[in-house]
């Protein structure tokens, strides 16, 4: 292997389940584009539409018109079922969230109509320990075309990349406006779609005790006008799964986060809803104690969504970032949140990571403890070090540039030129930050006593199902932090380039 080439970050059996070929792949940013695409993908499916998610709301419109009116998703699925009754429409969503929705008459009546429609199967997933959730966001069409990422087919998710202030279409089914929302997912065609179909089928069997009907995918249904970002690349699929009902625990996603941090030479760019994993934070701190460490940029929400989440997640995030700042080069970590032209915070729900422009990862997993060991998760990664992926670095760089330009309301050419000149993500962002729509440094206000207690003891973000029932002496951010430092000290050789 020649100088400058990398060892792969993704390794089957270590930090991913399978590595499969994607004939085509494209990153989709924000739900307005994804929902419009999803409507077309469902219409084009010949044999099966499989939708797996944490949330699913039949009241939403996938493609609202200028007045916010359009056919609700539930009615759209009924129409698809009547137009092609031999096409299966299988929907699996987390049980707790689903049961809460059943008190809403519009949703309950739609579910009843689905139940009376032969080709539609709607099921709730309770195949996990108490306190865990089914958090994957996967859609599969004819077992060869799939979508995997962070976007739920739910309420309060639709938004465009403009994140316009006062956007009239950003209205929930109850008529209330909601905050601007940033998210991402990835569409993939080919054998990797079949692998995600296998994952979906396994999840369906666990939840329902019955397999999905066997189908025979018979041809490419990639939309002809959708330009792929990648062609003929190998994609790694990584998972989290708690031990339950005879199924062993899987922590591939946690391992991949640690391996990405260990492998980074120049930078990692994260977009993530949470940053509360002491193990991940400690791994970053260990890198920042080196003489010439990479930069770490995290784009995250200003505050978590919901009072309980704010108490648990925001306080832990502040404490971890303050701890990392004590590292030798603590200034090489910057945490930002995006805001609109009018100054409103944009909620970051995306779970994206880009390492040195040589690996891009998109999925459902947050950088919190739940996504490492409690909740079911699925991420996909394209790593330039895999033999089939030679030459993808410019594409990954373009996607990273596009995301940063979106948040800064800047021209992509300006972002790219400044990064080429400085070689620094932080210098690039700091030079382009300004008034109006931009990135704002996270205010690290010390948490209050109650917030600090909840965060320190990981009361709402435990490291495992068993940890939920441990005494306070056996749990906490500090213990997670030490586990991360110990791992990094033992795995320093992993990250170096091959000579």
The DSSP secondary structure of 27-48, one letter per residue, reads: EEESHHHHHHHHHHHHHH-SSE
CATH 3.30.870.10-classified regions of the chain: 23-231, 235-495
CA–CA dist 265, 479 (Å, integer) = 27
- Whether the CB-CB separation of 200 and 140 falls below 8 Å is answered with yes
pTM of the model: 0.91
Task: For domain 23-231, give the fold.
Answer: Endonuclease; Chain A (3.30.870)
The single-letter DSSP state of residue 327 is: S
Task: For domain 235-495, give the fold.
Answer: Endonuclease; Chain A (3.30.870)
Contacts (Cβ under 8 Å, ≥6 apart) of 202? none
- Whether the CB-CB separation of 348 and 306 falls below 8 Å is answered with no
Average pLDDT of 150-157? 95
What proportion of the chain, given as a percentage, has pLDDT over 70?
85
Q: Which of 85-99, 238-252, 485-499 has the highest mean pLDDT?
A: 238-252
**What pLDDT score was predicted for residue 454?**
47
Which pLDDT tens digit goes with each residue over 428-464? 999 999 999 999 999 876 655 544 554 455 545 566 6
Which pLDDT tens digit goes with each residue over 453-498? 544 555 455 666 665 545 444 545 666 666 666 666 666 545 444 3
**What pLDDT score was predicted for residue 2?**
38
**What pLDDT score was predicted for residue 306?**
64
Lowest mean pLDDT among 301-310, 326-335, 382-391, 396-405: 301-310
Which pLDDT tens digit goes with each residue over 63-72? 999 887 899 9
Contacts (Cβ under 8 Å, ≥6 apart) of 404? 269, 410, 415, 425, 428, 429
Q: Are strands 230-241 and 377-383 parallel, antiparallel or unpaired?
A: antiparallel
Lowest mean pLDDT among 11-25, 152-166, 185-199, 480-494: 480-494
The single-letter DSSP state of residue 56 is: B
**What pLDDT score was predicted for residue 316?**
85
The tokens of 293 are what? 């460490």
Which pLDDT tens digit goes with each residue over 412-425? 999 999 999 999 99
- Whether the CB-CB separation of 309 and 315 falls below 8 Å is answered with no
Helix (H) / strand (E) containing 109: helix 105-115
């Amino acid at each position: 292997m020649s100088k400058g080439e990398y060892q792969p970050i993704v390794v089957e059996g270590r930090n991913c389940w399978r590595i499969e070929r994607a004939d085509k792949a494209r990153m989709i940013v924000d739900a307005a584009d994804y929902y419009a695409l999803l409507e077309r993908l469902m219409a084009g499916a010949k044999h099966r539409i499989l939708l797996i998610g944490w949330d699913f709301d039949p009241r939403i419109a996938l493609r609202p018109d200028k007045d916010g009116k359009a056919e609700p998703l539930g009615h759209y699925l009924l129409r698809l079922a009547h137009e092609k009754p031999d096409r299966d429409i299988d929907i699996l969503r987390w049980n707790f969230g689903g049961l809460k929705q059943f008190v809403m008459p519009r949703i309950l009546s739609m579910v009843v109509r689905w139940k009376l429609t032969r080709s539609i199967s709607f099921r709730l997933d309770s195949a996990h320990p108490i306190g865990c959730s089914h958090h994957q966001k996967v859609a599969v069409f004819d077992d060869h075309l799939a979508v995997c990422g962070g976007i739920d087919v739910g309420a309060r998710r639709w938004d465009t990349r403009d994140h316009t202030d006062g956007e009239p279409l950003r209205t929930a089914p109850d008529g209330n406006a909601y905050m601007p929302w940033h998210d991402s997912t990835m569409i993939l065609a080919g054998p990797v779609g079949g692998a995600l179909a296998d994952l979906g089928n396994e999840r369906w069997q666990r939840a329902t005790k019955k397999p999905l009907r066997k189908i025979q995918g018979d041809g490419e249904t990639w939309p002809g006008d959708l330009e792929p970002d990648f062609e003929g690349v190998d994609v790694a699929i990584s998972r989290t799964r708690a031990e339950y009902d005879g199924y062993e625990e899987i922590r591939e996603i946690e391992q991949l986060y640690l391996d990405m941090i260990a492998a980074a030479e120049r930078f990692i760019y994260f977009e993530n809803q949470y940053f509360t994993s002491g193990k991940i934070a400690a791994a970053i701190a260990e890198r920042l104690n080196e003489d010439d460490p990479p930069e770490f940029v995290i784009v995250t929400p200003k505050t978590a969504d919901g009072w309980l989440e704010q108490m648990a997640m925001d306080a832990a995030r502040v404490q971890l970032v303050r701890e990392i700042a004590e590292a030798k080069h603590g200034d090489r970590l910057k945490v930002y949140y995006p805001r609109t032209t009018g100054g409103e915070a944009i909620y970051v729900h995306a779970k994206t990571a880009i390492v040195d422009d040589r690996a891009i990862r998109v999925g459902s997993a947050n950088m919190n403890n739940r996504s490492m060991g409690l909740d079911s998760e699925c991420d996909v990664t394209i790593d330039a070090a895999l033999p089939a992926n030679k030459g993808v670095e410019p594409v990954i760089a373009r996607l990273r540039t596009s995301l940063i330009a979106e948040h800064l309301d800047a021209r992509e050419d300006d972002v790219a030129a400044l990064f080429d000149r400085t070689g620094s993500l932080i210098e690039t962002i700091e030079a382009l930050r300004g008034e109006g729509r931009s990135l704002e440094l996270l205010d690290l206000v010390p948490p209050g006593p109650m917030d600090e207690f909840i965060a320190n003891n990981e009361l709402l973000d435990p490291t495992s199902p068993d940890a939920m029932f441990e005494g306070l002496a056996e749990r906490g951010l500090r213990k997670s932090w030490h586990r991360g430092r110990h791992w990094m000290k033992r795995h320093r050789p992993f990250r170096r380039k091959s000579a």
